[in-house]
Amino acid sequence: MSPLSPTLELTCELIRRNSVTPEDAGCQELMIQRLEAVGFHITRLPFGEVENFWAVRGDKGPTLCFAGHTDVVPTGPEGDWTYPPFDPHIESGMLYGRGAADMKGSLAAMITAVEAFVHDHPNHRGQIAFLITSDEEGIAADGTVKVVEWLQERKAMPDWCLVGEPSSTSTIGDVVKNGRRGSLGGELIVKGTQGHVAYPHLADNPIHRVAPALTDLTAENWDNGNDFFPATSFQVSNIQGGTGATNVIPGSIHIVFNFRFSTEVTEQQLRERTEAILEKHCLDYEIQWHLSGQPFLTAEGELVDAIVSSIQEITGLNTELSTAGGTSDGRFIAPFGTQVVELGPVNATIHKVDECASVADIDQLSVIYQRILEKLLS
C-alpha cells in the first residue's frame, strides 16, 4: 500500500485512541503537540472529567476558530464490525473506524490545513484558534459551553467559527450547515387512578385521557418555517405506562417528546401552546422542560462566502446551505455573535457500525480548510 498522506496518517493515529465520550485518550495531546510546533499558544481547560483546550496563533485582528470534539460514541458489540473499530482500516478507498467521519477526519484535516497555511503565510493577519472538547457526544455540560463562558469572560469570542461536524451528504462539500434548529424536550406525566379493567368506573385511565391531547399536539401547525428552516416538528419518542398486566388500568403514563424548532417560534411560545392544549383536555399532569439549544443561523457574511467559494474552487460544486439535522456545539457559540458554519465529511455512517469516510474526501477537506484560511487571513 502506498504511503498515507499526512492528513490520513493523523486521522488513523486519532482513531487508534479509544476516546469514547467523555474520554479523550490522548487525542488532544497529539493535536496540541502539532499546534505548538507551528506557534500556537495552548490553554488546557479541564472541567470535571472533560478535557478541553483553547489554542491561538496571532495576537490581534479577526479570529477564525476551528471547533471540534475528540470524543466518539460507543461502538456497540465490536464483533458486529467488519474491522475492529479502533484499528483503522482502508478498503476500496474508504477509511473504516469509529470517528472516521465524526469527527477525527475533520480534526486531522484542520491540523494539516493549518500547518500548510502557516508554512506559506507565517505572518498571516488575524488569529487562528482551536476550540476542542471531549464532551460533544455526551451530556455536553463541561465542554464547549464551559470554554465559551471562559472566552466570554476574557472578551475573546472568535469572529468566525468553522465546526468540523460531518455535514456532507454524498461527497465532500455538497452540503454545509449554516445553522441548526433549536431543540426543546419535554417529559410529561399524566396522572389517573389505578384499577381493575373490569371495573373502569372505579378507575381513571390516563392513557385514554392523554390520547386526544397527543392527537392535537401531533396535528398542530406550530409554524411554516422560512427560507432557511423547515417547519417546526413535534415528535413523541417514548411512552411508558402500565404494570405489564393485562387486567390493570395504570395510575399514570410517562411521555417523552421533542420539538425541533425554527426561528419562527420561540421556546416560550412552544411551552405555552403545549400546556394550553394539555389544559384544554383537563389533564392532571406534570411537565418538565429541557432546552438543548436555541436555533441559530449564519445567513451571510465573510465566513459563508469564503466557504462557498472555497468549495466551488476545489471541488467544482455549488454547495447547498442547510439547517437540517441534529444539534451541534455550534449552538453554544453562535448566540454571542460569532458566524458559525459546519463543514465536514459525508454523514451517512456516523454513529453506525462500520463507520467510514472516503479517503479522498478527508484529503480534500484539508485542502478546502486551507483555502478558507487563505481567503480570510492571508
Catalytic residue among 23, 24, 51, 71: 71
For 188, the 3-state DSSP assignment is strand
Instruction: Please identify which residue in the block is written with the cell numbers 391531547.
Output: 213
| Grid coordinates of 281 | 383536555
Q: Are 184 and 278 in contact (CB under 8 A)?
A: no
Give which of 330, 337, 335, 181 is closest to 270, Cα–Cα. 181
DSSP letters, 276-340, are HHHHHTT--EEEEEEEEE--EE--SSHHHHHHHHHHHHHH---PEEE--S---THHHHGGGT-EE
CA distance 130 to 112: 13
Residues 284, 287, 290, CA angle at the centre, nearest 5°?
Answer: 170
Catalytic residue flag (residue 136)? yes
Q: Are 287 and 253 in contact (CB under 8 A)?
A: no
Catalytic residue flag (residue 137)? no
Angle, helix 27-37 to helix 6-15, in steps of 10 degrees:
150
CA distance 64 to 378: 12
| Grid coordinates of 274 | 403545549
Q: Is 325 left (phi over 0), alpha (psi -120 to 50) or beta?
A: left
Q: How many CB atoms lie within 10 A of CB 276?
A: 9
CA distance 59 to 92: 44
CA distance 359 to 4: 10
Catalytic residue among 23, 136, 142, 329: 136
Instruction: Please identify which residue in the block is written with the cell numbers 379493567.
Output: 197
Q: Is 214 left (phi over 0), alpha (psi -120 to 50) or beta?
A: alpha
Catalytic residues: 71, 136
